[in-house]
C-alpha cells in the first residue's frame, strides 16, 4: 500500500454515454499520457474497494437498503430515494471509469511490456490473468446491480452510445473469463508484487480467490439454471478459501489519502448521519451475538439499540458503529472465508457435490466470522450451541438459517449482503418507514443513459421488464 501509485487519469469514452460532457475528458494536461500498467492496476483496486466500502450517500447506500444502518436527520436514502443524489449514475460511472477501464488499460499496457525470458513471460501472463479476474469481479458488480449492461461495446472510446448486452449472456461470459484466467495462472512465478494491494502478488492466493468468486457467482444462478450452477460450483469448490488467512482484504492506512472512506465520511467530516439499524441490532440481541461489541458501541443506557430504517433518528439516543470500524486504517474485505463457507453450506443443501455437510460449513462460516472480528473459538462454540443458532434447531428452512447468519456476517459489506438477500430472500426484511417503493432489488439505469443513449436504454429497459427498482434480475426467481 505504501508503494501505491495514484494515477490521476480520466479515460475518455470509457462508458460511452455514461457521463456528462465526456468529451472534456479527452485531454488532461495534469495527467501523464502513458501510465505504467501496474500503477493503473493498483489504482483500480483502490477505486473498487473505495466504492464498495464508502457510506457516502451520493454513491453507495447498500448499508441502508439491507438495514445495517439507519439515517438520522436526512432519511431520504433509507426510504429508497435514488434520484435526488443521482446515486445510480455515480455508482455506474465510478465502476466503469475508475475501475473497469483502469483494469482494461492496465492489461493493454502490460501486453506491450517486453518479456524475453520464460520467467518474464510467466510473470506477464500472471499479471494479465489477475487483472482479468479483478475486472470480472467489477463487471459482476455492475451487472448484478443493474441487469443488462454495456459489455462488448463498453470500453470503445469511439462509441458514445454502446449497446446493452443481455445480462445472462454477459454473466456466462464472465464465468468463462474466470476459467481462462485460472488456466493461465502459474503459482511458481511472481506477478504484481507490492503493486497488488490485496495479496502482494501471491499467485496461489489469487487462484483461491478466483475459485471462491466462481463459487459465489455459480450459486447466484442456482435458481435460474441449476445445471449450470452445479457444474460451476462443483468445479470451483475444491480450490476455494480454507481459512481467514486466505481472505481477500484491502488494508487501508492511517493517514489520507489512503484511508478507509468510512472514517472519511463519519469522522473526518464530523457528521452524525447514521446509527446502526434496529433491524440488525434487535436480531443480534435476540441471538446474544458475541460480535456486538466489535460492531457497535453501547447506547446511553448501556444497551445495544438501533434506529428505525426510513425514520429520522436522534443520533445521541442509539448505539453507533464501533470505534474499531471507524478507524482510518480499518480494512475492507473483498471476499472472505465466512462467505465461502456459507456458500458451501448452501451448495450442500442444493444437492451439489462439494463435500462436507451443510451444518459443518455453516459452523465454519460463523466461527470464521466471529474470529475475524476479534472473538474467540470459545465464543463461537457458545454461540453455535444456542438452539436459536444451532443448525439443527434454529427456526426456518435452510435459506432462513443461512440467510440470517450470512447477513449478520456481512456487516459493512452492504452490496454483498444485498445480493445474498436477493438470492435467499432472508432475512425477511420489511420495507423502511415512509418508503417510496418496495425494497429495491436493482438500481435504475443512470440518467445519462436515459438521455444520451436513449435508444439502447429503451431496448435494455424493455428487455429486462422495465427500468424499475422492483424489476428482478434474470437469476432472481423468488
pLDDT by residue (tens digit) across 161-191? 999 999 999 999 999 999 999 999 999 999 9
Helix (H, G, I), strand (E, B) or coil at 296: strand
CA 354/CA 345 separation, integer angstroms: 9
pTM score of the predicted model = 0.93
Checking if the pLDDT of 366 tops 80, the result is: yes
Q: From residue 153, how far is each of 97, 133, 141, 221 by CA, in Å?
A: 14, 19, 18, 24
The mean per-residue pLDDT over the stretch 454-471 comes to 98
Predicted pLDDT of residue 237: 98
Return the pLDDT at 7.
36
Q: Residue 460 above 60 pLDDT?
A: yes
- The pLDDT > 70 percentage for the chain reads 93
Average pLDDT over residues 262-286: 97
**Helix, strand, coil percent content, the chain, rounded in steps of 5:** 50, 5, 45
Mean pLDDT of 376-387: 98
Whether residue 24 is predicted with pLDDT greater than 50 in this model: the reply is no
| pLDDT of residue 210 exceeding 80 | yes
Looking at per-residue confidence, does 3 or 256 come out higher?
256
Q: Residue 59: pLDDT above 90?
A: yes
Model confidence at 8: pLDDT above 90: no
Which residues are within 8 A (CB) of 242 and not within 5 positions of it... i.e. 6 or more apart?
Answer: 208, 337
Residue 26: pLDDT band with limits 50, 70, 90: very low
Q: CA-CA distances (angstroms) from residue 68 to 53, 55, 239, 280, 412?
A: 13, 11, 31, 6, 7
3-class secondary-structure state, position 69: strand
Average pLDDT, the chain: 94
Amino acid at each position: 500500500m505504501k508503494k501505491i501509485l495514484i494515477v490521476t487519469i480520466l479515460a475518455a469514452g470509457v462508458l460511452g454515454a455514461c457521463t456528462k460532457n465526456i468529451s472534456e475528458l479527452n485531454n488532461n494536461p495534469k495527467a501523464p499520457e502513458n501510465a505504467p500498467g501496474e500503477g493503473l492496476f493498483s489504482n483500480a483496486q483502490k477505486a473498487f474497494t473505495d466504492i464498495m466500502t464508502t457510506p457516502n450517500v451520493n454513491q453507495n447506500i447498500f448499508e441502508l437498503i439491507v438495514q445495517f444502518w439507519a439515517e438520522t436527520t436526512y432519511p431520504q436514502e433509507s426510504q429508497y430515494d435514488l434520484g435526488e443524489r443521482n446515486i445510480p449514475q455515480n455508482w455506474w460511472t465510478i465502476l466503469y471509469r475508475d475501475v473497469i477501464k483502469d483494469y482494461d488499460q492496465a492489461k493493454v499496457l502490460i501486453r506491450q511490456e517486453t518479456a524475453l525470458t520464460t520467467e518474464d513471460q510467466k510473470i506477464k501472463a500472471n499479471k494479465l490473468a489477475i487483472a482479468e479476474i479483478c475486472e470480472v469481479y467489477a463487471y459482476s458488480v455492475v451487472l448484478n446491480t443493474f441487469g443488462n449492461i454495456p459489455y462488448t461495446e463498453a470500453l470503445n472510446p469511439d462509441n458514445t452510445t454502446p449497446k446493452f448486452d443481455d445480462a445472462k449472456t454477459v454473466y456466462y461470459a464472465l464465468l468463462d473469463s474466470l476459467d481462462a484466467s485460472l488456466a493461465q495462472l502459474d503459482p511458481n512465478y511472481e506477478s504484481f508484487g507490492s503493486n497488488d494491494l490485496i495479496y502482494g502478488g501471491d499467485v496461489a492466493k489469487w487462484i483461491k480467490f478466483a475459485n471462491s468468486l466462481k463459487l459465489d457467482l455459480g450459486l447466484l444462478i442456482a435458481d435460474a439454471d441449476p445445471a449450470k450452477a452445479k457444474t460451476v460450483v462443483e468445479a470451483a469448490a475444491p480450490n476455494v478459501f480454507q481459512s481467514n488467512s486466505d481472505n481477500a482484504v484491502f488494508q487501508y492506512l492511517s493517514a489520507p489519502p489512503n484511508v478507509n472512506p468510512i472514517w472519511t465520511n463519519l469522522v473526518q467530516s464530523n457528521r452524525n448521519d447514521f446509527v446502526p439499524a434496529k433491524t440488525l441490532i434487535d436480531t443480534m440481541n435476540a441471538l446474544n451475538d458475541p460480535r456486538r461489541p466489535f460492531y457497535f458501541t453501547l447506547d446511553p443506557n448501556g444497551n445495544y439499540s438501533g434506529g428505525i430504517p426510513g425514520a429520522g433518528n436522534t443520533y445521541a439516543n442509539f448505539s453507533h458503529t464501533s470505534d474499531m470500524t471507524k478507524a482510518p486504517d480499518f480494512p475492507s474485505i473483498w471476499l472472505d472465508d465466512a462467505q465461502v463457507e456459507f456458500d458451501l453450506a448452501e451448495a450442500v443443501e442444493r444437492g451439489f457435490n462439494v463435500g462436507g455437510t451443510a451444518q459443518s460449513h455453516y459452523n465454519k462460516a460463523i466461527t470464521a466470522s466471529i474470529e475475524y472480528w476479534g472473538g474467540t473459538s470459545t465464543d463461537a462454540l457458545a454461540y453455535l450451541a444456542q438452539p436459536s443458532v444451532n443448525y439443527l434447531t434454529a427456526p426456518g428452512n435452510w435459506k432462513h438459517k443461512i440467510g440470517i447468519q450470512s447477513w449478520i456476517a456481512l456487516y459493512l459489506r452492504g452490496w454483498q449482503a444485498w445480493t445474498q438477500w436477493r438470492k435467499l430472500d432472508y432475512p425477511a426484511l420489511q420495507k423502511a418507514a415512509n418508503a417510496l417503493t418496495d425494497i429495491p432489488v436493482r438500481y435504475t439505469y443512470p440518467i445519462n443513459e436515459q438521455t444520451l443513449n436513449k435508444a439502447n436504454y429503451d431496448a435494455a429497459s424493455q428487455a429486462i421488464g422495465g427500468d424499475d427498482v422492483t424489476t428482478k434480475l434474470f437469476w432472481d426467481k423468488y
